[in-house]
Structure 1
Amino acid sequence: MNDARLLRINRRCLLRAAGVSVTLPPMASLDSCLGNSQQQPTSSMKMVCIGNSFGMYPEEFFPKAGGPDYELPRLLEPLKPHRRGFTVFSHLDHGIKGGHFAVHSFLSGVKTDEARSMPDGMLSLDQRAAEHVGSRSRFPSLTLGSDSGLHGGCRMCWTRSGARVPPITNPKALFQKLFVDGDAKDRAHAQQQFQLRGSILDAVCGEAQSMQKHLDGRDKAKLDEYFSSIRDVEKKLQQDENWRTVAKPTVEYPEPEMKGIVEDLPVLFDLIVLALQTNSTRVATLEISSEHFDTGFLGLKAGYHAISHHGKKPETIEQLLTIEQYQMEQLARFLSKLKSVTADDASGALFDSTMVLFGSGMGNGNAHTNTNLPILLAGGGFQHGEHKIYPAGRNVPLSNLYLSMLQRFGVETDSFSKSTGTLRGLEVV
């Protein structure tokens, strides 16, 4: 067994020590032995996660039959050109309840009140992947969507400490963040702000550490959470500093204007493609919240939330399907875009190296249930083209799919959230 292989095994053993999963910091000696460089990604894989507030109408999302020869239901019909490039899953969920509040656990598998008992806290799938990327992309992750409230909102992205990752709320702000460099005055101001934030952080850490010896057990636990938040800020500051002097990429795309989440949806998808193509990020999340969702653009009068409570009325169900079909049409357009452009490493279409997860933490918006979540995975080099039906009532964890995605992304871990292993039946081409 060569030294590089031995180092990889030893690293994985350390990850499992004491029954917890811990990602080791980058080590030059390990990277050298493994033939990696800290400046180069260990993988070109990307990840995009898309979720909404109220799930999808089950009768028109899940195919009636399993396997590869199912008949496309209405909500999957827009994806017909990509039929062999995605997989639909039945009977995957997180085994939790809570209606609207459980929606926010879509990417973490964890509710707020149980986060403390979890090894990784409230950490969501996208942020676990972002930790793996680190500063190798200008933005370890991008979160897009409405700055929504809890009820009827779609909060999907969480740090280990349980802090929500705030979204970029409009395409104009996203475009400027990705592709617009400030002038000399702006850069000088940014450097001044960086130094100021760093000095404030140093002072706060020093004061908090001196306080620790006077606290009881409960307050020490609170302080530990505080230190965890501080570490999140420190990592962000360091990542900002690493990229501060590197010019942003230029793209042939007009700077967009803010119109509203519904009308902006195709533009946001376009910008995600550009962000991935330029390697500005390798992880992006889009939260399609019911708040600020202008149903009038689709010719409807009632709001998304009100329509989701359809009471089994055919006319209201039809309105709900109009909203959901629009989302699927934009997803289909996004997948077509990924297929039409080349990956940054020129290895092939961007679609083949991008995992696209679509779903929700809500299984049935009318009944407020969080079981049998509507889950679809496209791209990423997996063997697709099927409707995979897992045993009902057996609670196959959705986190098993997430673990498979993380391993495909290059993360060396044997667990995520409440996973019991990788997802059976999901193979790589």
Structure 2
Amino acid sequence: MTRHLSPLTMHPFDRRTFLRGLGVTMALPWMESLRVWGDESVGKEPSSQAPVRFACFFSGNGFHSKEWWAKGAGKDMELGKVLQPFEGTKEKLTFIRGLYNEQALKGNIHSSQTGNLLSGAPLAAGGAIRSGTSIDQVLAQHIGHQTKVPSLVLGCEHSMAAVHKNYSMLYSSHISWSSPTTPTPLELYPALAFDRLFKEDDSLNDKSVLDAVLAEATSLRGKISSADKVKLDEYLNSVREVEQRIERAGKERQIQGWRPTLAEPNIPRPKDGVPQDIAEHMRLMCDILVLAFQTDTTRFCTLKLNNDHSSLRFPNLNVDYMIHHLLSHTDGDDWLKVNRFFAEQVAYVAARLDAIQEGERTALDNSILMYCSSMMTGHHDATQLPLIVVGRGGGKLESGRVLDYLGKPNRKMCSLYLSLLDKFGVPLSEFGDSTERLAEV
């Protein structure tokens, strides 16, 4: 009779290491005494280097016209008021000015400027749906098989299915595209996003992830260094904390319709599609993204904080008198307050990742976080796009810089994407409308 061994009793840690339990798989974080990120290539020794991750954060309708800026370098970099939440990680931030998508200049409306933000592809008009495969999905299709979840696509606002001035509003709702005709489905519910990362059997939705893997976690503790035991405990505590927060949010109705034992909501969502507590919703999504990277369950994530042409309101900021889209045309103090709220979500993820040590680097050092919008301001200006990159791409990306491409011959967003693809070992001869890498990246 063949004996089936637990992953922890097999050849010691020469491949990716997981904790497994009934219906649950948890990839471990980087540990110095385990070669977690094993190279699966035949004949090669497993690598002890942590992987590089990519996340794209999007908020619609642009930013305050006078407060999206940066100047200087390194610790002396100065940030405009929108970007001041990144003060603690500015030495790992790259401010990029002047890039654009040529195809986004057609139509001059939200839909025509958003659907190709991550692909640079021409968009079909007349209500048809055709864009291009986005950079996050290109990465997932090339190397996403190395993790349990090839890519995680999160959102905080329902997509819109209508036509506005000859372009489908689906373009305003999706920046991640699995193919030119397929926007990647958004996961709007934190509980379901969490389940996708860790649970394999929907019938176990009322079970704790940690309870399911407790036996293997206990066994593992006897096989790792003292420093890694501390890291393992911190990691397991962070999983438990997110579980408990999701449970509390569901009980308190903070996230509309969520129930831990249901796959779909059992009460209707508010008519305008806005979560009842947008601050808690966004923060949970940010925590799940960090957890996904920390556990190596996925290396590619897109978090759409809202739609372009968004209907979100912000009672948490005492800005509840106007929806996001209309507020973007005002360029006043309340618009700045909303801008900073969005930037705070991305800065929070950056700070969380920077606090996770992975050998000589942090998880932020081993990541590329891109934050962007599809227009510079709420007045539909797409001649240059607001863009920052936080992280060092595993040491392959120099940070603490301001890069200005205005007036230069190559200032295509897709040139940036070609450069970023190289950081992940996915060299392409062309992407979107570009065949040339972006200088200095």
Aligned equivalents of 1:43 and 1:414: distance in 2?
27
Residue in structure 2 matched with residue 374 of structure 1 by the alignment: 386
Measured after TM superposition, the shift of residue 182 of structure 1 is 2.6
* SS of residue in 2 equivalent to 1:327: helix
Aligned equivalents of 1:161 and 1:328: distance in 2?
29
The yes-or-no answer on 1:264 pairing with 2:281 is: yes
Q: TM-score, normalised by structure 2?
A: 0.66
Aligned equivalents of 1:359 and 1:376: distance in 2?
7
Aligned pairs for 1:343-422 (under 5 A) are 343=358, 346=359, 348-365=361-378, 367-379=379-391, 380=393, 381=395, 382-392=397-407, 394=409, 396-422=411-437
Measured after TM superposition, the shift of residue 419 of structure 1 is 1.9
Aligned equivalents of 1:349 and 1:415: distance in 2?
31
Residue in structure 2 matched with residue 303 of structure 1 by the alignment: 323
Residue in structure 2 matched with residue 77 of structure 1 by the alignment: 84
Structure 2 vs 1, CA of residues 41 and 287 (structure 1 numbering), >3 Å: closer, same or farther? farther
* SS of residue in 1 equivalent to 2:179: coil
Corresponding letter in the other structure for 1:272: L
Equivalent residue in structure 1 for 2:186, among 149, 153, 167: 167
Equivalent residue in structure 2 for 1:252, among 219, 229, 240: 240
Corresponding letter in the other structure for 1:73: G
Residue in structure 1 matched with residue 263 of structure 2 by the alignment: none
Corresponding letter in the other structure for 1:113: A
Residue in structure 1 matched with residue 139 of structure 2 by the alignment: 129
Q: Is the 8 A contact 1:262 1:293 kept in 2?
A: no
Aligned pairs for 1:7-26 (under 5 A) are none
Structure 2 vs 1, CA of residues 161 and 43 (structure 1 numbering), >3 Å: closer, same or farther? farther
Corresponding letter in the other structure for 1:317: G
Q: Is the 8 A contact 2:311 2:325 kept in 1?
A: no
* SS of residue in 2 equivalent to 1:159: strand
Aligned residues: 318
Corresponding letter in the other structure for 1:369: D
The yes-or-no answer on 1:273 pairing with 2:290 is: yes
Q: Is the 8 A contact 2:54 2:299 kept in 1?
A: yes
Q: Is the 8 A contact 1:112 1:162 kept in 2?
A: no
Q: Is the 8 A contact 2:68 2:82 kept in 1?
A: yes
Higher relative contact order (CA 8 A, sep 6+): 1
Aligned equivalents of 1:397 and 1:357: distance in 2?
16
Aligned pairs for 1:304-319 (under 5 A) are 304-310=324-330, 317-319=332-334
Structure 2 vs 1, CA of residues 417 and 309 (structure 1 numbering), >3 Å: closer, same or farther? same
Aligned equivalents of 2:382 and 2:365: distance in 1?
31
Aligned equivalents of 1:175 and 1:112: distance in 2?
33
The yes-or-no answer on 1:104 pairing with 2:115 is: yes
Measured after TM superposition, the shift of residue 109 of structure 1 is 1.2
Structure 2 vs 1, CA of residues 134 and 45 (structure 1 numbering), >3 Å: closer, same or farther? same
Structure 2 vs 1, CA of residues 183 and 385 (structure 1 numbering), >3 Å: closer, same or farther? closer
Residue in structure 2 matched with residue 94 of structure 1 by the alignment: 101
Aligned equivalents of 1:358 and 1:282: distance in 2?
16
Residue in structure 1 matched with residue 60 of structure 2 by the alignment: 53
* SS of residue in 1 equivalent to 2:186: coil
Measured after TM superposition, the shift of residue 108 of structure 1 is 1.1
Where structure 1 has 5 or more consecutive residues not aligned to the other structure, the ranges are 1-29, 115-119, 187-248, 311-315
Aligned equivalents of 1:45 and 1:347: distance in 2?
14
Corresponding letter in the other structure for 1:180: K
Structure 2 vs 1, CA of residues 185 and 284 (structure 1 numbering), >3 Å: closer, same or farther? closer
Measured after TM superposition, the shift of residue 31 of structure 1 is 4.6
Corresponding letter in the other structure for 2:329: H
Structure 2 vs 1, CA of residues 347 and 177 (structure 1 numbering), >3 Å: closer, same or farther? farther
Corresponding letter in the other structure for 1:285: T
Equivalent residue in structure 2 for 1:283, among 300, 316, 335: 300
Aligned pairs for 1:191-230 (under 5 A) are none
Measured after TM superposition, the shift of residue 317 of structure 1 is 1.6
Residue deviations 1:225-244 (CA, integer Å, cap 9, x gap): xxxxxxxxxxxxxxxxxxxx
Structure 2 vs 1, CA of residues 181 and 123 (structure 1 numbering), >3 Å: closer, same or farther? closer
Aligned equivalents of 2:374 and 2:48: distance in 1?
31
Where structure 2 has 5 or more consecutive residues not aligned to the other structure, the ranges are 1-39, 161-168, 206-234, 256-274
Aligned equivalents of 1:132 and 1:111: distance in 2?
23
Aligned-residue RMSD, C-alpha: 2.9
Residue deviations 1:274-313 (CA, integer Å, cap 9, x gap): 1111111010000122445231121112110110121xxx
Measured after TM superposition, the shift of residue 135 of structure 1 is 2.1
Aligned equivalents of 1:402 and 1:128: distance in 2?
10
Q: Is the 8 A contact 2:119 2:432 kept in 1?
A: yes
The yes-or-no answer on 1:140 pairing with 2:140 is: no
Aligned equivalents of 2:291 and 2:357: distance in 1?
11
Q: Is the 8 A contact 1:87 1:378 kept in 2?
A: yes
Aligned equivalents of 2:312 and 2:437: distance in 1?
35
**Fraction of identical pairs, as percent:** 26
